[in-house]
A and B are shown apart, each in its own frame.
Chain A
Amino acid sequence: MSITVSGINKNFGDFVALQDINLEIPSGQLTALLGPSGGGKSTLLRIIAGLENADSGSITISGQEATHLPAQKRNVGFVFQHYAAFKHMSVAKNIAFGLEIRKLPKARIKEKVDSLLELVHLTQFADRLPAQLSGGQRQRMALARALAIEPSVLLLDEPFGALDAKVRKELRDWLRRLHDEVHVTTLFVTHDQEEALEVSDNIVVINQGRVEQVGTPDELYDQPANDFVLGFLGPVTEFQGRLVRPHDLEVFRQEVPGAVAGRIARSTRVGFEVRLEVELNGSADAAPVNVVVTRGEARALGLTVGDTVFLGLQAVLV
């Protein structure tokens, strides 16, 4: 195991940030710490990096007891949400920083910096200052800087949080590909479930200072441990007293055994999907059930507002 977190507690005054956290982060994999803002995931990451101290508990990195090691001795690469670029240094100097601190020979530093610049596609920007780069480029520079010291683990704190949607998506794909290339144990914090599901090998869901569930994206999505995980990983709707995903409901025009009759109250078309709000017969006071069908299905069934339909859970889930 590459990172072992055991019995970590952390309070900020009266606020409980982390409560008895126990985790094993597998080596060589990309693990996401997923949870709502203020849930404690960034605090955990900073404790692992040594940028914050836990009240109790211990941290082991690559088999080495690290609980009381200062940040500069942990050999951990850390990437900040707002890049933390060294503003007075060129891109190349930024990347070389950790190597210069380690007093590597000049030629060796140059060689490493050049190959890292290539890895993050910033070769032609080597002599620019961070202020002359876009957000995405700056974050790639920060990543190269963290990778330069050949860290035993790479920690990323909401690395794409400050970028606009399109760049975020590009960088996300790029991070995945980069990780397939370098294979460094990576732990990244995000509050975006889509990002976590798309990029990571494993997900740790953290909420209110506690670990809710650990598993692969598929496990979490298909077998959520509780309603919180279910709700956090995707949209949910209440159907016959249980929470289900809107796309797991099937719509019929005729009565089928097990299906419940209702009336389409609203219909919203978003791209390839159609979102329906269905008021079930006999439960007009309850919130309408949300159903998502594809554009094709909606067209084939001829669904329009006011129609009576029958809803049932898709066979695989019953």
Chain B
Amino acid sequence: MAETDLSPAPRTSTADTAPGNASAGRPTTATAATTPPRRRRAPRTPGRHGGNRPLRVILRLAVIVYLFFLVVWPVSLVVLRTFAPVGDTGGWDAFVTRISDPAFLYAFGLTFTAALWAVGLNAVFGLGISLLLVRYSFPGRRLLSALVDLPMSVSPVVVGLALVLAYSSNQGRFGPLLQSLDWQIVFSTPGIVLATTFVSLPLVIREIVPVLEEIGTEQELAARSLGAGAVQTFRRITLPAIKWALVYGVVLSLARALGEFGAVKIVSQGASFNGETATLLVANRYGNFDEASAYAAAFLLVLTAITALVVVTILRPKEHRS
């Protein structure tokens, strides 16, 4: 038979190197939607700037210094302060006491409830919108694509104000209806969910869209010609291909949702046991000279975000193997 049979070494052509996840791994892809799908970069080799070693060292140093003073140092101060002694209390025991405060538990419970709703809604609708944007052409497609980015560019405070205008019981368009149903959206949990969903809307979409564009439609068409219906094609072909983009989008959404402050500040009552989310709690406690509690809550928020990123980083190598 053809002698190509015998060569065990995989020959990779440009058509097959990237398993559709080239962009899934970059945390900055929320803004990468406008760039064409990219191939994964070749691994960095030591000799890439071999002729310019001093420049490489200076660049590396500059980046490290920049990141240290901008991110690492300030965040580490929060961590240190969390466990610092205040008066005669402090350390781990004091931290545990602070976070066992029922108001704390309520605030984190509310934050996680809102975040899970937001992430769930955005995963489902984000997937739908992505498929619509990439797989179908219709009038207004570009407008929709731009609209999807709006929540990223508008200040969350403005989002909050807009939601209050639209959905509050006493001044919103649906005010009378909501009042007659005795259903309060703004200044209660649904409002917080709405605000959180709004601000994290683009993240899932901006992860999935480039991957969908890159995999193209041929695999789906092949599945169709082999007898698969629309649902089978989606489940067996499309979903596995965009799985990692979806996971990454969900994690980014989760991190964004947990940290949301501005929009929630407007649509929530923001009082203890009454619409006070974790970020609002940080602000309230800090404002009320209960800095120790503020740092404890802040530490938990940082910890959650870092955990999410670490989990994804551990999971991600699998994507390279597939």
- The chain A residues found within 8 Å of chain B, CB to CB, are 49-51, 70-78, 80, 82-88, 97-98, 101-102, 121-122, 129-138, 142, 145-146, 148-149, 162, 167, 170-171, 174
B window 217-242: CB within 8 A of A: 218-219, 221-229, 232, 236-237, 240-241
B151 within 8 A of partner (CB): no
B100 within 8 A of partner (CB): no
CA distance A211 to B67 in the complex (A): 66
CA distance A83 to B222 in the complex (A): 9
Given contacts A84-B221, A87-B19, A137-B5, whether A101 and B13 have CB atoms under 8 Å apart is no
Closest Cβ of chain A to B110, distance in Å, is: 39
Closest Cβ of chain A to B242, distance in Å, is: 11
Check B1–A121 contact: CB distance below 8 A.
yes
Check B4–A167 contact: CB distance below 8 A.
yes
When C-beta atoms are compared, the residue in chain B nearest to A132 turns out to be: B10
- Known: A88-B19, A170-B2, A170-B4; 9 extra A-B contacts, CB below 8 A, are A51-B221, A72-B227, A73-B227, A75-B227, A78-B222, A84-B218, A146-B226, A162-B15, A170-B3
B97 within 8 A of partner (CB): no
CA distance A61 to B66 in the complex (A): 67
B17 within 8 A of partner (CB): yes
Chain A residues within an 8 Å CB radius of B236: 97
B182 within 8 A of partner (CB): no
Q: Which of A78, A87, A146 contacts B221 (CB 8 A)?
A: A78
6 residue pairs bridging A and B, Cβ less than 8 Å apart: A72-B224, A84-B219, A134-B4, A137-B4, A149-B227, A174-B2
Check A135–B227 contact: CB distance below 8 A.
no
Given contacts A78-B225, A101-B232, A135-B11, whether A87 and B241 have CB atoms under 8 Å apart is yes
Chain A residues within an 8 Å CB radius of B227: 72-73, 75, 98, 101-102, 149
Closest Cβ of chain A to B93, distance in Å, is: 50
Chain A residues within an 8 Å CB radius of B11: 133-135
Chain B residues within an 8 Å CB radius of A138: 16
- The chain B residues found within 8 Å of chain A, CB to CB, are 1-5, 7, 10-13, 15-17, 19-20, 218-219, 221-229, 232, 236-237, 240-241, 322
Check A80–B19 contact: CB distance below 8 A.
no
Check B226–A135 contact: CB distance below 8 A.
no
CA distance A174 to B241 in the complex (A): 32
Check B4–A101 contact: CB distance below 8 A.
no
Given contacts A72-B228, A98-B227, whether A84 and B222 have CB atoms under 8 Å apart is yes
Which 3 A-B pairs rank lowest in CB-CB distance, beginning with the nearest?
A98-B226, A84-B218, A84-B222
CA distance A82 to B15 in the complex (A): 7
Check B222–A136 contact: CB distance below 8 A.
no
CA distance A136 to B218 in the complex (A): 18
Check A86–B17 contact: CB distance below 8 A.
no
Chain B residues within an 8 Å CB radius of A102: 227
Chain A residues within an 8 Å CB radius of B222: 78, 80, 84, 86, 142, 145
Check A131–B2 contact: CB distance below 8 A.
no
Closest Cβ of chain B to A194, distance in Å, is: 18
Closest Cβ of chain A to B322, distance in Å, is: 6
CA distance A72 to B226 in the complex (A): 6
Chain A residues within an 8 Å CB radius of B7: 134
Check B225–A71 contact: CB distance below 8 A.
yes
Closest Cβ of chain A to B240, distance in Å, is: 5
CA distance A206 to B322 in the complex (A): 41
CA distance A51 to B233 in the complex (A): 14
CA distance A85 to B236 in the complex (A): 13
CA distance A135 to B5 in the complex (A): 11
CA distance A52 to B218 in the complex (A): 13
Closest Cβ of chain B to A299, distance in Å, is: 35
Chain B residues within an 8 Å CB radius of A50: 224-225
Chain A residues within an 8 Å CB radius of B228: 72, 97, 101
CA distance A109 to B225 in the complex (A): 18
Chain A residues within an 8 Å CB radius of B219: 84-87
Closest Cβ of chain A to B126, distance in Å, is: 21
CA distance A170 to B3 in the complex (A): 9
Given contacts A71-B221, A84-B219, A170-B4, whether A131 and B226 have CB atoms under 8 Å apart is no
Closest Cβ of chain B to A166, distance in Å, is: 9
Closest Cβ of chain B to A48, distance in Å, is: 11
When C-beta atoms are compared, the residue in chain B nearest to A97 turns out to be: B226
When C-beta atoms are compared, the residue in chain B nearest to A142 turns out to be: B222
Chain A residues within an 8 Å CB radius of B12: 131
Which of B3, B15, B17, B225 gathers most chain A CB within 10 Å?
B225
Check B218–A82 contact: CB distance below 8 A.
yes
CA distance A148 to B223 in the complex (A): 13
Check A71–B224 contact: CB distance below 8 A.
yes
CA distance A256 to B148 in the complex (A): 81
Check A76–B225 contact: CB distance below 8 A.
yes
Closest Cβ of chain B to A269, distance in Å, is: 29
